[in-house]
């Protein structure tokens, strides 16, 4: 969610004027949809193992989550949206797509038809290597998986710190620190992308490798 809002800001897009489709409605996708919904984005499409569902006026994500929890974790039969072809979700008419299910769902076959201005990778490796150049050529910003879904790892680090301290942080403290770290990480990757005129994915690799190199240097590796 933090990376999505930061990217929208760079693109000059207002959350309340932005539509989104989320592929996957499990632990990652449902929470992504919920957090974006709470920030005012219109979630038009979602999907899970039972199929894909669309409401051009926006899906009430609170109702969708409640329905899923009451029906064995599936959205099948949810009346707040109409069934749609799952293969069309990622190429639907929305501003943002969040592939948060499995890997390699964006390929050279559907990438040419993506209408979104922004892709935020919630799953690990949802974009195939053959699709990347197509997306870059179309001028679509991609927040890569190693940046977009790293919040969970960050909070896991916080858990380790709390265990070492023997002190429990408040939810507000965890949220504030996680949001700050994710915002700073996005900004560093974005600035690197602009500096070297490379896609966000390459910029994320540059930032990561530089961190390793600098740490190795400071530890006397050189």
Token pair 């990778």 is at which residue?
A: 121
Residues 122 and 69 in one domain: yes
- Averaged pLDDT for residues 94-106: 97
Domain of residue 44 covers 2-148
Q: Is residue 29 part of a domain?
A: yes
CB of 83 closer than 8 Å to CB of 51 = yes
Domain stops at, among 93, 113, 148: 148
Euclidean distance between CA atoms 141 and 116, whole angstroms:
9
What Rg, from alpha-carbon coordinates, does the chain have? 18
Please tell me whether residues 124 and 89 are part of one structural domain. yes
For residue 43, pLDDT beyond 80: yes
Domain-located, residue 39:
yes
Query: Hey, what's the torsion of the CAs at 69, 74, 76, 80, to 10 degrees?
Result: 40
Q: Are residues 177 and 212 in the same domain?
A: yes
pLDDT tens for residues 177-219?
Answer: 999 999 999 999 999 999 999 999 999 999 999 988 888 887 7
16-42 mean pLDDT: 96
In the prediction, which pLDDT does 201 show? Answer: 97
Q: What mean pLDDT is predicted for residues 81-96?
A: 97
Please tell me the predicted confidence (pLDDT) of residue 222: 54
3-class DSSP assignment, residue 2: helix
- Average the pLDDT over 161-186 and give the result: 92
Judgement on whether residues 58 and 106 belong to the same structural domain of the protein: yes
Q: Is residue 157 part of a domain?
A: no
User: Most distant CA pair in the chain: distance in Å?
Assistant: 62
Among 148, 182, 207, which residue terminates a domain? 148
**How large is the average pLDDT for residues 11-37?**
96
CB-CB neighbours of 7 under 10 Å: 23
Is residue 128 a contact partner of residue 108, using CB atoms and an 8 Å limit? yes
Same domain, yes or no, for 78 and 144? yes
Average pLDDT over residues 34-52: 97
Q: How many domains does the chain have?
A: 2
| Listed residues 118, 148, 178: the one ending a domain | 148
Q: Are residues 87 and 180 in the same domain?
A: no
Q: Does some domain include residue 46?
A: yes
Rounded to 5 degrees, what are φ and ψ at 27? Answer: -60, -35
Q: Say yes or no: 212 and 128 in one domain.
A: no
pLDDT tens, residue by residue, 104-115: 999 999 999 999
What is the mean predicted confidence (pLDDT) over 66-72? 96
* Judgement on whether residues 71 and 140 belong to the same structural domain of the protein: yes
Which residues, other chains included, contact 5 with Cβ-Cβ below 8 Å and sequence gap of 6+? 15, 39
Q: What is the mean pLDDT of residues 165-180?
A: 92
pLDDT for the residue 215: 84
Residue tagged 């700073």 (tokens): 184
pLDDT at 153: 86
User: What predicted TM-score, i.e. pTM, was given to this entire model?
Assistant: 0.92
> Are residues 128 and 180 located together in one domain of the fold?
no
pLDDT at 88: 97
Q: Under DSSP, is residue 218 helix (H, G, I), strand (E, B) or coil?
A: helix
Mean pLDDT of the chain: 94
CATH number at residue 130: 3.40.50.720
Are residues 123 and 69 part of one domain?
yes
| pLDDT at position 152 over 90 | no
Inside any domain, residue 162 = no
Q: What is the mean pLDDT of residues 46-74?
A: 96
- The reply to whether 135 and 203 lie within a common domain is no
Q: In terms of DSSP bridges, do strands 42-48 and 51-54 run parallel, antiparallel, or are they unpaired?
A: antiparallel
Q: Do the domain assignments include residue 154? A: no
pLDDT at 221: 57
pLDDT at 155: 85
In a domain, 160, yes or no: no
- Residue 205 within a domain: yes
- pLDDT at site 128: 96
Residues 143 and 180 in one domain: no
């Amino acid at each position: 969610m933090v990376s999505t809002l930061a990217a929208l800001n760079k693109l000059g897009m207002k959350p309340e004027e932005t539509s989104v489709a989320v592929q996957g409605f499990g632990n990652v996708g449902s929470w992504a949809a919920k957090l974006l919904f709470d920030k005012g984005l219109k979630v038009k499409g979602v999907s899970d193992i039972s199929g894909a569902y669309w409401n051009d006026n926006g899906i009430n994500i609170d109702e969708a989550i409640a329905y899923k929890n009451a029906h064995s974790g599936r959205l099948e039969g949810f009346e707040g949206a109409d069934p749609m072809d799952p293969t069309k979700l990622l190429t639907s008419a929305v501003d943002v797509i969040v592939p948060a299910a499995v890997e390699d769902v964006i390929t050279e076959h559907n990438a040419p038809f993506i209408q979104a201005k922004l892709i935020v990778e919630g799953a690990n490796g949802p974009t195939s290597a053959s699709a990347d150049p197509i997306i870059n050529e179309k001028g679509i910003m991609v927040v890569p998986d190693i940046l977009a879904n790293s919040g969970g790892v960050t909070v896991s680090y916080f858990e380790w710190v709390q265990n070492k301290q023997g002190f429990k942080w408040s939810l507000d403290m965890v949220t504030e620190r996680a949001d700050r770290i994710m915002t700073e990480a996005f900004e560093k990757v974005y600035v690197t992308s602009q500096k070297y005129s490379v896609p966000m994915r390459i910029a994320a690799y540059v930032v990561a490798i530089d961190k390793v190199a600098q740490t190795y240097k400071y530890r006397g590796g050189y």
